[in-house]
Amino acid sequence: MGCRLRPLPVPSLVQSTSHPGLCAGFGSVVLQKALCYTDDTAMARALVQSLLAKEAFDEVDMAQRFAQEYRKDPDRGYGAGVITVFKKLLSPKCRDVYEPARAQFNGKGSYGNGGAMRVAGISLAYSSVQDVQKFARLSAQLTHASSLGYNGAILQALAVHLALQGESSSEHFLEQLLGHMEELEGDAQSVSDARELGMEDRPYSSRLKKIGELLDQDTVTREEVVSELGNGIAAFESVPTAIYCFLRCMAPDPEIPSAFNSLQRTLIYSISLGNGIAAFESVPTAIYCFLRCMAPDPEIPSAFNSLQRTLIYSISLGGDTDTIATMAGAIAGAYYGMDQVPESWQQSCEGYEETDVLAQSLHRVFQKCL
C-alpha cells in the first residue's frame, strides 16, 4: 500500500524533510543510511529488468519477476490484493499469468494504481505511441484487470512518453493526453466498468479537463486538488493528480525553497497531496502535480527547481504519497532529465547505483527503437 499521509502544508513539509541530502539536497551532505524504497520502485525495477533480459515485453517473464521480487523482499509495503496475485503466480499450477489478476474482486479485477506506478520503464523502452499504449496495458493487466486500473497505467505511460519529447506547453500536453484517453475510454469495457462504479463515462478524460481548469486558476488549495482529482490508490484518482503536480511545478513555488529544482519541486508537491490508491484517484493527481509545478508556485521557495517543486507539492497532498510522487516524479524526470536531480538525493536513495545501470541499459534499448 506504500505510504499514506494526510495533506501537509508545504512549509511544514519542507521544514520536516530538510534532512541533509534530501530537501536540502542542493548541499553536499549525504545521509549516512540510504532511504529505503517501497513496492513502487521494487516493481518498476522488476519491469525494467524483464524488458532488458528479454529485449522485449514478455508477460510470463515479467509476471514471474514481479512475484519473485515480492517473495525475496515482501516488506516493501505491498497491498493485500496484489500479494494474492503473486502467490498464485508462484504456484506451479499457474498456466495463464493473466488469470490471477482477472479473478480478483469476484472477477472484476483491481482498479488500483499499481500498474501505473511501475509503468515508466515501458515509455523508456518503446518509442511509438502505439507500443507504449499496448505494452502499458499488457504489463498492468498482470495485476490490475479492471479497465480503470490499466487505463490509468496507459495514461501515466503516455504522460512520460510526451514528457520525453520535451513538450513545453502544458495546454498542448493536456490536449494530446485527452485525445488519446477519449478514444481509449470509449470502448464498451471501459464504459461498463465506469458505470458499474457509478462514475461518469470517461473518468480519466474528465479529470484531464479538470486539470486544465485548475491550472487556469491563480490560487488552488490542496483541498481543492484532492477533492477534484483525488490522491488515493485508485489509478483514476492519482495519475491525473501526478500530471497536475508536474505542470504546476514547472515554475518556482514560494513555499518550496528556491534551491530546489523543478523535478524536486514536483516530487515534494505531489507527496503533500493525496490519500487513496485507486488509479483514477492518483494518476490524474500525479499529472496535475507535474503540470502545476512547471511554473513557480507562491507556496514553494524559489530556490527549488521544477523537479524539486513537483516532489514537494506531490508529497504535500498527503495520502498515497509514495505512489503519487513516484508517478509525478517519473513524468518530471523524463521532462527535465538528471541535471535537476541533486547528487545528494541520488546518493541518499537505496539501490541508486543499480538503478542507474538499469537506466543506461534501457536508454540503449530505446535508441534501437528509433
**In whole angstroms, what is the distance from residue 29 CA to residue 238 CA?**
33
Q: Is 355 annotated among the ligand-binding residues?
A: no
- The CA distances from residue 312 to 11, 82, 301, in Å, are 10, 28, 11
**In whole angstroms, what is the distance from residue 267 CA to residue 127 CA?**
25
Tally of CB atoms within 10 A around 96? 10
Q: Is 285 annotated among the ligand-binding residues?
A: no
Taken in order 207, 213, 214, 220, the sign of the CA dihedral is negative
Which residues neighbour 132 within 8 Å (Cβ) at sequence distance 6 or greater?
Answer: 122, 123, 126, 154, 157, 158, 161
Tally of CB atoms within 10 A around 28? 11
Q: Is 40 annotated among the ligand-binding residues?
A: yes
**In whole angstroms, what is the distance from residue 32 CA to residue 44 CA?**
25
Q: Is 38 annotated among the ligand-binding residues?
A: yes
User: In which residue are the cell numbers 463515462 written?
Assistant: 201
107, 193 Cβ separation under 8 angstroms: no
284, 327 Cβ separation under 8 angstroms: no
Q: Is 61 annotated among the ligand-binding residues?
A: no
**In whole angstroms, what is the distance from residue 174 CA to residue 76 CA?**
33
Residue type, 152: G
**C-alpha cell belonging to residue 355:** 538503478
**C-alpha cell belonging to residue 261:** 529544482
Q: Which residues pair with 98 in a beta bridge?
A: none
Q: Name which of 271, 209, 203 is nearest 235 in CA terms.
A: 203
216, 292 Cβ separation under 8 angstroms: no
Q: Is 320 annotated among the ligand-binding residues?
A: yes
Q: Name which of 279, 338, 350, 358 is nearest 37 in CA terms.
A: 350
Residues that constitute the known binding site for Mg(2+): 38-40, 320, 322-323
Residues that constitute the known binding site: 38-40, 320, 322-323
